Amino acid sequence: MPQRLSRMVGERLESRMPKAWCWRGRHVKLFDGTTVSMPDTPENQRAFPQSSEQKPGLGFPVARIGGLISLASGAVLAHAVAACKGKGTGEQTLLRGLLPLIVKSDILLADALLATWWIVAESRRRGGDVLMVQQEGA
């Protein structure tokens, strides 16, 4: 429900945003991620196991959150949450689930961690452009 509600609020804010707030008539959508720690409860441990770097029973569950944000309105258009543990839980995976929200003439703005061929290719396939810092030495 929180994801559906935040998406509805984001869509409503975007639809009411003045066109002049767009960059050259285009929507710029920023993606970024972070991690959060949570109370050490059995429920949280099951859903978001603590890092393997921590000794059992001495850490807190950690979740990874990624958000697609309108650069013009500041609205969170959508977000994704995953356990911060193992393959398939990184920012690239979270962005993959949000790429359907990149549409024709959008610009996806993200950091160098996300500058992968498949993110660029999928964004372009959807009609969007991509702006990301290239990793040094790449």
The domain limits of the chain are 2-132
Q: CB of 77 within 8 A of CB of 10? A: yes
Lowest-confidence region among 4-8, 11-15, 32-36, 57-61: 57-61
Q: CB of 64 within 8 A of CB of 84? A: yes
pTM score, whole prediction: 0.84
Taking the C-alpha atoms of residue 70 and residue 59, their distance in angstroms, rounded to an integer, is 34
Q: Tokens standing for 134?
A: 């290239």
Does 65 have pLDDT greater than 90? Answer: yes
CATH class name, domain 2-132: alpha beta
CA angle 33, 34, 39 (to 5 degrees): 140
